[in-house]
Structure 1
């Protein structure tokens, strides 16, 4: 396995890495770089910025403790790159992070980017902790450097499938799949969950992540008398589906793969009420460190958490903890430390199984009521979740 060089660089006073008044020679402070990769441009830019903000708070908190490495002062700094939610771009920016000698990476946001980028990090021996990539394939590649900090699709599919059949009493269940790694992964596991619970899928339609007019597929689903409709894709797409369902007078409960953001409700408008979504993790106010994190986030960035910032915080904080525990920036030692970690994070207990999955992930089922997301049910994170 090829290893990167030591990721300790002189602190540059004019750089983005926590500038100091004294020169590097005078202060003796060195910098350890943590990478973060996500969509900072395009339709999901708000999510990428939210992830970046969460990781930045972890960096700030670490530096406030005045950390040391081998008895010498050290500063952690964030190196942020934009993958634009594009797999090819993800590979390019992953190599950029490797070339900048980061000790670990928070990212990527979506599975379609995490999978190809993980090969780059694995070749360099650098641990990657994905804050929101739920496609199981990401951690099924056999890379010891790949970790995820929330539950994967196999679990969520079993939950949503059972919910559609047993709770929603769906008799004619339909699926729309946007063919992305994220959407298709959720849709596939949802179908398995429905069938395992004795339900029937009457129609499975396909779009892509650039689709804006869902009239054709929804008309087809209406003809099949669909009463529960699962959408596998991003929340911006799902919002358009919710609006069109109402316009076409299709009386089906819309069940989403996730994305319970403020933006979804705004985009869906009046069509949002009744929409149900499964979100990996606990709601912010139910997370062990959620209240404090929310206060710190609002004070620092002057707006509320969008969605996944707490998970990015925990991913960055876990990489920092590995550096501090091992007193090293050697990639092999850091990867081993992450495998062995067991710590209390903002989102819950951070510990990983042999594949790199979060050991005991939580899930929450939400429903839009009067234009607001409300909690329907919480699973996992100390409660039993049946895996498929």
Structure 2
């Protein structure tokens, strides 16, 4: 009888173990293609969060669950992004982290919305993503509106710029960033002295720079990528334009120096990326970076800590709701006030991060150097 009782207990325990709930979090980014290094960085951060949840036995409403990451590759391509999104929707994952770029995140978001699956992007910055009226869309980094206006405040208050020219490359990214920067300038009581545009494949800027030179600017703001900004900077030098250059994440890489023909001087260019931590969060971020380096043998690119926090914010919302069912924890996710590695994860009515920060950089010796974290 005793053996029989022990057997029944063992069978009962085995049954409970086999019935343990598995919470599946989808992650989509480019694992192949030109931006795959950022995609892998994002996936690495999400996987660290999943492993941390399992290691500490994280529960949902007091019930122990198993956490699993379900990765997909969209190659940074909108068509592949929607295919990956549909695959995750059909699999009925409990939540999604991704996608990596705005061009993939926005089309995929409709599929998650239709399926009722919460989606948090750790890197897409286009404002349109959270302005579609979908209650399932969230992001944990500042958007281009926050970025453009933050840059405008810094240009006027910290750099003392008074005569500012703006140029965009006619892309959605470039035009949007310049528009928000210009709006920010107006809020500071400053109007642009010259407004020009080029295209994202241009190499000759003599005509527009000659017009800009006539306005005698102390700052040229460029909305576009470094492949255009670098040559433009070189031609500014050739035309004797002494103004500094400012831009967003599109020009915020060490490639600026060779692209400028090695004409960029120290401190001449100021750029910004969405994200970063303020002084109070630096120790926590350094611990995360050290853990990441120990695990993967490489340094964090940019996205990993944000995807890490995104996973943990979802887990916290599920625990508060006492359920991993998207319809039940979604209201709790919208009310998040999660203290993460990157700061407090709290969303506004559209799903944008509240008080999103940006990190400003300049270049010294051709290398990007942080100068401030601001809002």
TM-score, normalised via structure 2 length: 0.82
Q: Shift of the alpha carbon at 1:98?
A: 0.8
**Conservation of the 8 A alpha-carbon contact between 2:348 and 2:354:** yes
Which piece of structure 1 moves more, 156-165 or 359-368?
Answer: 156-165
Call closer, same or farther: CA 1:350–1:71 in 2, change over 3 Å.
closer
Deviations along 1:76-103, whole A, 9 cap, x unmatched?
Answer: 1212222233333322221111112211
Aligned residue among 215, 224, 241 for 2:203: 215
What 5-or-longer segments of structure 2 have no aligned partner? 1-13
The 3-state SS of whatever aligns with 2:96 is: strand
Q: Shift of the alpha carbon at 1:287?
A: 3.2
Q: Could you say what the CA RMSD is over the residues aligned between the two structures, in angstroms?
A: 3.0
Q: Does 1:318 align with 2:313?
A: yes
- How many pairs does the alignment contain? 350
Rounded Cα–Cα distance in structure 1 between residues aligned with 2:169 and 2:160: 20
Q: Does 1:56 align with 2:47?
A: yes
The 3-state SS of whatever aligns with 1:215 is: coil
Deviations along 1:130-175, whole A, 9 cap, x unmatched?
Answer: 1122222222222111111122222222222243345252525132
Aligned residue among 167, 181, 192 for 2:183: 192
What 5-or-longer segments of structure 1 have no aligned partner? 1-22, 381-388
Call closer, same or farther: CA 1:31–1:262 in 2, change over 3 Å.
farther
The 3-state SS of whatever aligns with 1:224 is: helix
Rounded Cα–Cα distance in structure 2 between residues aligned with 1:97 and 1:65: 26
Aligned residue among 217, 241, 247 for 2:229: 241
**Conservation of the 8 A alpha-carbon contact between 2:277 and 2:373:** no
Equivalent residue for 1:253?
244
Equivalent residue for 1:287?
281
Instruction: Please say which structure displays the higher CA radius of gyration.
Output: 2
Equivalent residue for 2:35?
44
The 3-state SS of whatever aligns with 2:237 is: coil
Aligned residue among 133, 156, 166 for 1:174: 166
**Conservation of the 8 A alpha-carbon contact between 2:30 and 2:73:** yes
Rounded Cα–Cα distance in structure 2 between residues aligned with 1:154 and 1:305: 25
Which piece of structure 1 moves more, 100-109 or 260-269?
Answer: 260-269
Q: Does 1:334 align with 2:329?
A: yes
Deviations along 1:83-126, whole A, 9 cap, x unmatched?
Answer: 23333332222111111221111112222322221111111111
Rounded Cα–Cα distance in structure 1 between residues aligned with 2:48 and 2:258: 28
Q: Does 1:76 align with 2:74?
A: no
Q: Shift of the alpha carbon at 1:229?
A: 3.1
Deviations along 1:163-198, whole A, 9 cap, x unmatched?
Answer: 334525252513223514x44322221222234432
Rounded Cα–Cα distance in structure 2 between residues aligned with 1:204 and 1:94: 39
Rounded Cα–Cα distance in structure 1 between residues aligned with 2:304 and 2:257: 20
The 3-state SS of whatever aligns with 1:49 is: helix
The 3-state SS of whatever aligns with 1:287 is: helix
Q: Does 1:143 align with 2:134?
A: yes
Pick the structure with more helix per residue.
2
Equivalent residue for 1:205?
197
Q: Does 1:349 align with 2:341?
A: no
Rounded Cα–Cα distance in structure 1 between residues aligned with 2:291 and 2:252: 19
